[in-house]
Amino acid sequence: MRMKSVSIVTGASSGMGMEFARALVSRPGLGELWLIARRIERLQSLAAELKTINPGLAIRPVAADLGGREGGRVIAGLLEAAGGRGEIFIDTLVNNAGFGTYGNFDATAIDRQLDEIDLNVTSLTAITGICLPYLERGSRIINTASLAAFAPMGGFAVYAASKAYVLNFTLGLAAELEAKGIKVIALCPGPVDTEFSRVASEGVRNKVLHGKPPAAVVRHCLTLLERGKKIAIMAPKWRLKSFLPRLFGRFFIAKVTMHTEKRPSKGAF
C-alpha cells in the first residue's frame, strides 16, 4: 500500500505562509495539506479557497500555538494521529512560523524576546527533528530565515540572532541530508509586504516600506529549491546587502543599521 503524502505549512494564516500553501495546493501526488497557525478563522478561509483550486486534496486547518518545545509535540501528535510512520510521509515541510520585535534590547520586554527565540529557534528545531523520520528521497524542507541572518543588527538584535541560527542550522542540515536526496533551503527575504511590521512594532507601523509581494518571494524560493540551491534571496538589492558584512565587518553593519534603518516600537516597558 502506497503511503499518503503530506505537506505541512506553519504560520499559514497570513503572508508568506499563506502563499506557500497556495503554491503547494496543486503539487502532483500530494494527499494532504496541513495549515498550522493560531488563527483558525483565517485557516478555515484559506482552506475553503484552496479547495476550489484542488477539490480532491484533503486540506487540514489546525489552530495551534507552536512556541517552544510544544511546537514539536503538536506536530508529533498530528503525525501519530494520521497513522505515523509507515502510513504517511512528508513531501514538503515549510517552517514559516516566526515573528520579530523592533526596538533596542534594553527597551523591550524580556518575555517577548524569549517568546521570539522560542518560536523562531526552539520550535523550528523541534518541528524539524520530529518530521525528519517522515522524510523520504525527494522530500523538501523550507526554513524561513531572513536577510537579517547575515549580520547583527542594532535595534533588531534578537531577531537577527535568531535568524542567523535558522540560516546556519538550515545549511548544516542541507549538508547532512544531501546524500539522502532531501532538499533543504533557507528563505532569506528582506522587506516583504506582510503583517510582519505590524507585529514587530506592536501596531506602531502597519506596513513595511518597499515590501516585495509575498507570492513573488515564495515562487522564487520554490524555483531555487528545485534547482538544488540552499539559500533563496530574491532581490538584487537584498543579495548585495547580504554581502556587505564581509566587506565592512559585522559590528560596523550593526551600528549602521541601528542608525539608518530606524524601526518604530512602543518603547520602554
3 state DSSP class of 167: helix
What's the CA gap between 166 and 145, in Å, rounded? 6
Task: Calculate the dihedral angle through the C-alpha atoms of 206, 189, 252, 155, rounding to the nearest 10 degrees.
Answer: 30
What's the CA gap between 205 and 26, in Å, rounded? 35
Query: What per-residue string of b and e applies to 127-155 under the rule 16 or more CB within 10 Å gives b?
Result: bbebbbebbeeebbbbbbbbbbbbbbbbb
Angle at 49 between CA 48 and CA 53, to 5 degrees: 110
Given the residues 102, 134, 159, 165, select the one marked as catalytic.
Answer: 159
Q: Which among 47, 33, 45, 40 is positioned nearest to 82, based on CA atoms?
A: 33
What's the CA gap between 248 and 86, in Å, rounded? 51
* 165 noted as active-site residue: no
Catalytic residues: 159
